[in-house]
A and B are shown apart, each in its own frame.
Chain A
């Protein structure tokens, strides 16, 4: 029981990070039907941007931890958003209307470019940050083992829930969200109603990147280190999460993220830590056999 609860907490934390990245995949896929393979690396760039600002603010200017993190969160979202805006502008937009694989290949190229760029400009080693929020709240003790939830874990889950609520509101209730959903269904018709489709797509990339940046901040907060290749595995996991939850669905992405996080931590606790990725991907394969559109995805019904 105690191991289960502890792993549940750990799994939900990890799952929140995956979920935030997965939203970026799912939104971009929803609007232009393209898997943005560079998104994992955008997340890594976001983590580096956060790292740089955090070290600047906390060690250079000597800010206190919490205000520094708040500012880092905002700056990280803005700068990573700009990065993704630029990526969309140079690597994907010129290929729109070309054959379907072209932007996909361009995305893979962009992914390699980003990780190599960071390797060159930031060096190939792990970049650490000083440990923060090391305290935790003990919940209960059983069999001599104390189950605890860390401050970091609380922060990560709370921020995820708040951001999810904000983004849900944007997509469901604001004019921008309506335009995004309209572009998702019929871009040409949306343009005929005066919606600037290119701008809407750009804003979608910016929104996805902003969430990836938040995930990046959480990643360095949680693990304390980041390096140039850290975008790949979380990126693939988050993509898996998006597919598992039903690609194109916002709550699906978060649900998928939480599930992947839980599967991984539970598997590590009860079976073998070496095979945690195998477990996550096997479950994805099994779910897709029975639910090809994912858990919350809408099946595409074509009227004949």
Chain B
């Protein structure tokens, strides 16, 4: 098996006496969509916060393997290097766009480092150096490509805050993609979308993953989205991993069902048995 793109090992995050994540290990492989699911408060967003440097994990290692084989420990990188050197991008559950800036500017901020390097801290840019002009042209082309792809090109010069909710979600994904990430972490991208927008989103995510060699780590509550597009599902409950595998296997895992339906720990085995009988009946009916 190839080296996983993202390898989370023994990740633990404690806030005072509360253990938000306990000894969590999982892998995300390149070219795949990995979904992270679990009931409310299971610690999914905390995992994201650890991966993207918002929190320093109490224990554990988060390793990201670059295409050239170099291994980076994300928990040791300073905030902005997680994106620039580590090439990890993310979106938020509550959208965090730069509301006062235009759509195009939002996408250009995401290419800040490329432009800064080309323009020598903007000084050459003021004098109109050729390398800067070329870099800026490429940056605008990339931004327009993603605006086109998310269907927002017509509103490129509007302020981001003026967009409707669903468009803002797509713009956030477009902005993250403008940093040309290896791993894109999406925190509930389908939340608040209507069914049609949700379908469009599925297509967008699949295309990002297949055409752009960007792997996706996804937190999602909408099970139809998870089951349709993900290649691999990791289930968390109370900060611990309770299941890990392809979507179909996870869907029928009694522990997962128990976690979602809210059964006491000692009742898990009982529920397991019940589910087995129900499944047997279902099979019988099908015959």
Contact B100 A185 (CB under 8 A): yes
Closest to B111 in A: A175
CB of B60 within 8 Å of the partner chain: no
Which chain A residues in 17-69 approach chain B with CB under 8 Å? Answer: none
* Least Cβ–Cβ distance between A304 and chain B, in angstroms: 14
Judged by a CB distance under 8 angstroms, whether A190 is at the interface is: yes
Taken together as a complex, chains A and B put the C-alpha atoms of A9 and B116 apart, in Å, by 40
Decide: A174 near B122, CB < 8 A? Known: A186-B98, A189-B98, A190-B109: yes
When the two chains form their complex, are residues A179 and B112 in contact, meaning their CB atoms are under 8 A apart? yes
Contact with A along B223-239 (1 / 0, CB 8 A): 00000000000000000
Given A176-B116, A186-B96, A193-B110; A170-B126 close (CB under 8 Å): yes
Residue of A nearest to B161 (CB): A303
Assess whether B83 is in contact with A189, with CB atoms less than 8 Å apart. Answer: no
Q: At the interface with chain B, which of A124-132, A195-203, A209-217, A288-296?
A: A195-203
Please tell me if the beta carbons of A182 and B101 are within 8 angstroms of each other in the complex: yes
Task: Kindly name the residue among B52, B83, B175 whose own CB sees the greatest number of chain A CB atoms within 10 A.
Answer: B83
Please, how many angstroms separate the alpha-carbon atoms of A281 and B96 in the complex? 38
**Contact in complex: B110, A194 (CB < 8 Å):** yes
The reply on B119 being an interface residue by CB < 8 A is yes
In the assembled complex, A152 has its CB within 8 A of some CB on chain B: no
Are the C-beta atoms of A175 and B122 separated by less than 8 Å? yes
What is the chain B residue whose CB lies nearest that of A190? B109
A89 beta carbon closer than 8 Å to chain B:
no
Contact A178 B101, beta carbon cutoff 8 Å: yes
Interface residue A275 (Cβ < 8 Å from any Cβ of B) = no
Q: Residues of B contacting A178 with CB < 8 Å?
A: 101, 105, 108-109, 112
Q: For B110, what are the chain A residues with a Cβ–Cβ distance below 8 Å?
A: 193-194
Does B101 lie within 8 Å of A193, measured CB to CB? no
* Nearest-neighbor residue (CB-CB) of A176 within chain B: B122
Q: Which of A166, A176, A190, A193 contacts B89 (CB 8 A)?
A: A193
User: Please, which residues of chain B bring their CB within 8 A of the CB of A196?
Assistant: 80, 113
Question: B26 interface residue, CB < 8 Å from A?
Answer: no
Contact A182 B109 (CB under 8 A): yes
Shortest beta-carbon distance, B169 to chain A, in Å?
15
Q: Given A170-B126, A176-B121, A182-B109, check contact A193 B83 (CB 8 Å).
A: yes
Chain B residue numbers with a CB within 8 Å of A273 are none
A191 proximal to B (CB < 8 A) = yes
Q: A175-B122, A176-B121, A193-B176 are in contact. List 6 more A-B contacts (CB 8 A).
A: A175-B116, A177-B122, A181-B100, A192-B82, A195-B109, A197-B79
Residues of A within 8 A of B (CB): 166, 169-170, 174-179, 181-182, 185-186, 188-197, 203
